[in-house]
Amino acid sequence: MPRLALLLATLALVLAPRPAPAAEPAAASKPSPKKGFGLPERKGFGAAHLAALNVGWYYNWGNETKLTTPATFVPMIFSAKRTPPAAAHAFVLGFNEPDHPKQASMTVEEALVHWSLVTAKARQTVSPAMAGNPVTGAWLPAFLKGKPKVDAIAVHWYKGVDAQKFIADLKAIHEAYGRPLWVTEYCPQTSAASEQQPDRYTAAQVADFIAVTSTWMEQTDWVQRYAWHHPKAGTCRLFDEAGKLTATGQAYAQDRR
């Protein structure tokens, strides 16, 4: 090959565009430490469900867990009939709906006497969660007047798909008590209501409610934790009968930070 032609061919190879190197796969971000799930562990729910929902923490209404998972377990002392967890924890949840006859069902006096069950292994404690209104109801204000160690207020909320009402209610609770909030159960409907009216809300309505409320909670520093409540039936449930994420589950699994 003539010298000029060889030179031109070499120059063409040097100047030819080269394929870009394959991009390194992006490292999966850790789930939000705020977003959690009330996990029905005794009913067969486990680590795979937590991973599917992309949550940073969970509780199971009990004081121990059998799971091995990256998500942080937070114990609960359901009622005075339970015992403290074996090990110390950063947070322990207080009694579950002591103002409800089918839940912990405790008087304020009983709860104060047994509050040491909650504080025994806790660096910080979360108040009993009310079935009724935590501000206008009589139970929680009377309990707090006894000055138990309570670092955050637990909230249960089942009042439809109006995200602005949800936000307004949480603001009112925070203003009343001046403590961080843990929304340990929230959903447009209770489990019982979901069984009675499974299609009361459309999947799109529930997904919009999740998007607005979870984004707001992620951006609100005094909301420390939140956890969706999974009913057995209806458009509010996170998993179907086969254990697959529903449209609602997919909406909740999104990272809203």
Distances (CA, A) of 227 to 2, 36, 146, 185, 219: 76, 4, 28, 6, 15
Q: Classify residue 136: in a domain, yes or no.
A: yes
Q: What domain range includes position 222?
A: 31-253
Q: Classify residue 16: in a domain, yes or no.
A: no
Q: Classify residue 229: in a domain, yes or no.
A: yes
The list of the chain residues with pLDDT below 70 reads: 1-28
Q: Classify residue 64: in a domain, yes or no.
A: yes
What pLDDT is stored for residue 5 in this prediction? 47
What phi, psi does 30 have (nearest 5°)? -70, 145
Q: Classify residue 41: in a domain, yes or no.
A: yes
CA 49 to CA 185: how far, in whole Å? 17
What pLDDT is stored for residue 12 in this prediction? 45
What secondary structure does DSSP assign to the chain, as a single string?
A: --HHHHHHHHHHHHHSPPPPPPPPPPPPPPPPSSEEEE--GGGT--HHHHHHHT-SEEE-SSS------SSEE--B--STTS---SS-EEEEE--B-TTSTTTT---HHHHHHTTHHHHTTEEEEEPPBPSS-TTTSSHHHHHHHT----SBEEEEE---S-HHHHHHHHHHHHHHH-S-EEEEEE-SS-HHHHHHSTTSS-HHHHHHHHHHHHHHHHH-TTEEEEEE---SSSTT-SB-TTS-B-HHHHHHHS---
CATH number of the domain residue 136 falls in: 3.20.20.80
Q: Using alpha carbons, select from 251, 131, 246 the residue that is nearest to residue 198.
A: 246
Q: Classify residue 62: in a domain, yes or no.
A: yes
What pLDDT is stored for residue 3 in this prediction? 54
Taking the model in full, what pTM does it have?
Answer: 0.88
Distance of CA 125 to the CA centre of its chain: 17
The number of domains in the chain is 1
What pLDDT is stored for residue 2 in this prediction? 52
Q: Classify residue 220: in a domain, yes or no.
A: yes
Q: Classify residue 240: in a domain, yes or no.
A: yes
